[in-house]
Structure 1
Amino acid sequence: MIDVDLHPVSKAIAGRWAVLLIVVAYATASAQIPEFKITMARADRESLFSRDAFSNEVLPATFEHAGKVWKDVQIRFKGRSNRYFPKKSYRIKFPAKHHFNGVHSLNLHSMFTDKSLLREKLSWDFFADLGMLAPRAYYARLSINGKPQGLYAVVDRVDKNFLALHGKTSASLYNAGGFYSLADMSVQPKELLTLYYPKEIGEDDDYRDLMSMLDTLNRTPDSLFAGMLARLFDINSVYNWFAGNIILSSGDSYTKNYYLYHDPSRRSQQWIIIPWDYDESMGLTGDMAVPYPGSLLNDGFDYRFPPLAGPSNVLRERLWKNPALREGLRQRVDALLHSLFTEERMFPRIDSLVSLIQADVAADSQKWGTFQDFLDNVQTVKYYVTARRNFLLKTYINVPTGAYDNVTMRTTQSGVAYHFVGLDGSQIATLWFSHIRGLDSVRIECFPDSLPPDIAQTNRPRAVRRWLRITPIPAAAKFTAKLEWMYHDASSMDREVGKAVKDERSLRCLWHGGGGWIPVDSHVNPFANLVTVDSITEQQCAEGSYFGLFLP
């Protein structure tokens, strides 16, 4: 049995400090996170929460912010899957002559399925960095009739006001977000296009421009496709949409969750893609073994989605088929992986957002999960940045080299992160050396979906089916290092965790040195599926030694 519990007095002191820090953080965040207050008649409020959750009928309300009052607003639930969950998303509509900061309506997204409450905000900030025509997002806290509803992401609604704020002409705007999720850019009869691409701006019954564009997109010969695409579409919006989906791992954006905007004021490149809906991004995975919508409440994680993974889309398939366009996309992703999507840029941004929202997250009784879940998911999002970047560099940007599950690296510096990435882009482990003497390189072998040797029969359901062997070169070298290694747990049907493991935080890393299993100081992030060993030395990496993970 491994005793890792803190002394009760130490725990009490730590707890008081944690409360104090949250109070201080809350006072700071209050000055930066706007507060929206909704007041409704009792009957209207009861109707909002008791009627069919999928009703889009608006109800009257009063909206208050920063001492200003809007008396004639309207409110309803919004979205699809989040209407099933306890914390709802809302759309608030303002009177035509009394807009809120220049907008006619507010989208308040609950972020319920994302325990980090970061992914949607980070995604929209990333698209803003790309210079895309895309929604902006900021955080707000919401109350209804004095009852706190928690922390929300306020995301621009793509409408006439959105276009005007971006200096764009009010023209045809199609929402590929219909109920059917079949907006794959194929040629379809008008009666189906009206279902797959509901029209947000323009004559409801006039689909001639969309039909013409889709016909050109589908019927242009391969030899003329690249030139046609550069004339028909804003090519930067195409490349950045695909690049963003590749980097953020948003694979459900090809038959839904995007807008098509037709700007006739431009002489060419009149069609612009506007991205939408990135709450299920950056490593979140659905669990297809669980009926919808429970499939979205999945703590599984993966960063190894192939580029352009997801359902078929005509524009995607034809671009990928064209060597010049495919290479242009690869170069765009490569540039972003070395400029915008780096640890040096993303980690400070994540830390800044965490400092801003952590007190509100702690106070949010409507969120899914605990405050510790939030903290672990913050680490998970950071790990996603590292692992996704390494995966794409290994398998997409460069020609893959090396071997599966067996990586040797020169390791001659301290204070540097050495990421051991296999042939398939899997991040096997990371080492940070604090002391090195006589070390030239290290070989790390992992054995996926395999129980470690010498594990007792009774412990097998309590173990993770993956183990690790570390070999220093030369064997006489001396070192001290921090170790991180990852196991696989994407869904209930795709995981290496033993059936007897109910709480992955209870797992402990142990090493076997010939005399039995010996515990090492370690902890597990059950969302990143990440094992952190605070310190290892050459003694735990001698010949015949290896690391395993199971319940003590």
Structure 2
Amino acid sequence: MSTSQLPLYAIYIHPNDLRELRRDIWNDDLVPATFTFQKKFHIDISYRGSHIRKFKKKSYFISFYKPYFFHGVHELHLNAEYKDPSLMRNKLSLDFFSALGVLSPSSRHVLLSINGKHEGIYLQLESVDEFFLKKRQLPAGPIFYAIDDNANFSLIGSFDKKPKTALDAGYERKLGTWEDHRYLEEFIFKLNTTPKYEYESVMSKLLDVNKYLRWLAGVVCTQNFDGFVHNYALYRNPDSGLFEIIPWDFDATWGRDINGKQMDYDYVRIEGFNTLTARLLDIKRFRKMYYDIMKHTLDHEFTVEFMRPKAEQLYQQLRPHVVDDPYIKDHIEQFDGEPEWICDFLEKRNTYLKSQLSTLL
């Protein structure tokens, strides 16, 4: 196997526990294992994700319990990035959000072996939890994961198109107490029912609108179609009383969809989607705020000049290991062409969005 600076995580799962894990890929029950990197850790492990569980190269959720911390984290996610031929779209996206001033998980590429079998390149994702907040010197507050498309900022369910029976449908509380659900319920209720003449005032007391519009610019630029109703977390800062939005799982971006197929550069409109976005952009001051954010982003961060060096650096870091990854080593030619594919999409998407900017005024 190639030598490089990518860390190698070696996991050992007892054969009986491995059989239990594989018996039902949809089961979220954790099984015990050991994790070795520099020293040995006792962990619990399970599969993670939704549709990605069906892929040959599995993604994993890991919880440390002895010792309790691994490099300052208690949990981490190992994403296979199986449908992304570049293996870098998720990391490029999350780092892009950080550059836009949006709370975003940190990530790094690693190598993984399970019971001595080399599983190839993975993306280690930081868990959005109390330690995520602590690392950023943010006060502990409730965190809700958007776990399905019912987290669509609407009073109508995404699946049955009927009124929701619960205002917090589609969310799972990661941090906080049952009492904190009332903040989420109030937020969902008021964003839907507040009349337009009160909207600016009411929403400014519930949501960090500037941060939300920065997030919106990031989703629109990277063109994550699922990102408007899924693939995010909500954090309520108890000091400000405002919700902030945090991106998650952004591999279906930069010109490819969730199946790794080409997504046309003009597939997602500049206004994006979802009820909250539509209502915010219906307010003149918020729409102008979004225009200013998007214009700045298109001039600075969402440019080939800004992103190409990042894509090329990741490519150089990953390339020596692609030949050893049993799941992608037969697709090296495609991997080699991905940085240019990403830049080509970026250039076309940037031009398209600039042509649409005037519609925001």
TM-score (norm: length of structure 2): 0.91
Q: CA deviation at 1:239?
A: 1.1
CA contact (8 A) 2:145 2:171 kept: yes
Asked if 1:133 corresponds to 2:106, the answer is no
1:470-511 per-residue CA deviation (whole Å, 9 max, x = no partner) reads xxxxxxxxxxxxxxxxxxxxxxxxxxxxxxxxxxxxxxxxxx
Work out the CA distance in 2 between the residues paired with 1:378 and 1:362: 17
Letter in 2 for 1:176: A
Distance 1:242 1:382, change over 3 A: same
| Alignment match, 1:69 | 40
- Matched residue SS, 1:232: coil
| Alignment match, 2:138 | 168
Task: Determine which of 310, 316, 326 is the counterpart of 1:349.
Answer: 310
Q: CA deviation at 1:332?
A: 0.7
Asked if 1:320 corresponds to 2:281, the answer is yes
RCO higher in structure (CA 8 A, sep ≥6): 2
Task: Determine which of 31, 35, 49 is the counterpart of 1:59.
Answer: 31
Work out the CA distance in 2 between the residues paired with 1:193 and 1:230: 20
Work out the CA distance in 2 between the residues paired with 1:358 and 1:302: 27
CA contact (8 A) 1:87 1:367 kept: no
List runs of 5+ in structure 1 lacking aligned partners. 1-22, 286-295, 400-552
| Alignment match, 1:186 | 154
| Alignment match, 1:362 | 323
Asked if 1:44 corresponds to 2:17, the answer is yes
1:366-416 per-residue CA deviation (whole Å, 9 max, x = no partner) reads 23860001112222111111111111112x1247xxxxxxxxxxxxxxxxx
Work out the CA distance in 1 between the residues paired with 2:259 and 2:191: 37
CA contact (8 A) 1:87 1:366 kept: yes
1:263-300 per-residue CA deviation (whole Å, 9 max, x = no partner) reads 2222x5x2111111201111113xxxxxxxxxx43533
Distance 1:369 1:230, change over 3 A: farther
Alignment of 1:87-486 (within 5 A): 87-95=57-65, 97-178=67-148, 181-187=149-155, 192-204=166-178, 207-266=181-240, 268=241, 270-285=242-257, 296-308=258-270, 313-367=274-328, 370-394=331-355, 396-398=356-358
Q: CA deviation at 1:170?
A: 2.1
Q: CA deviation at 1:108?
A: 0.4
Which structure shows the higher helix fraction? Answer: 2
| Alignment match, 2:159 | none
Aligned length: 354
Which structure shows the higher strand fraction? Answer: 1
- Matched residue SS, 2:166: helix
- Matched residue SS, 2:301: coil
Distance 1:309 1:335, change over 3 A: closer
Distance 1:298 1:152, change over 3 A: closer
Distance 1:152 1:43, change over 3 A: same
Work out the CA distance in 2 between the residues paired with 1:77 and 1:164: 26
Letter in 1 for 2:21: L
List runs of 5+ in structure 2 lacking aligned partners. 157-162
CA contact (8 A) 1:260 1:273 kept: yes
1:31-55 per-residue CA deviation (whole Å, 9 max, x = no partner) reads 2x11111012122223323x11111
CA-atom RMSD in angstroms: 2.2
Letter in 1 for 2:296: A
TM-score (norm: length of structure 1): 0.61
Identity of matched residues, %: 31
CA contact (8 A) 1:133 1:166 kept: no
CA contact (8 A) 1:38 1:142 kept: yes
Work out the CA distance in 2 between the residues paired with 1:43 and 1:107: 23
Letter in 1 for 2:76: L
1:121-154 per-residue CA deviation (whole Å, 9 max, x = no partner) reads 1001101112221111110010001111110111
Greater gyration radius: 1
Distance 1:369 1:193, change over 3 A: farther
Distance 1:309 1:47, change over 3 A: farther
Work out the CA distance in 1 between the residues paired with 2:270 and 2:29: 37
- Matched residue SS, 1:207: helix
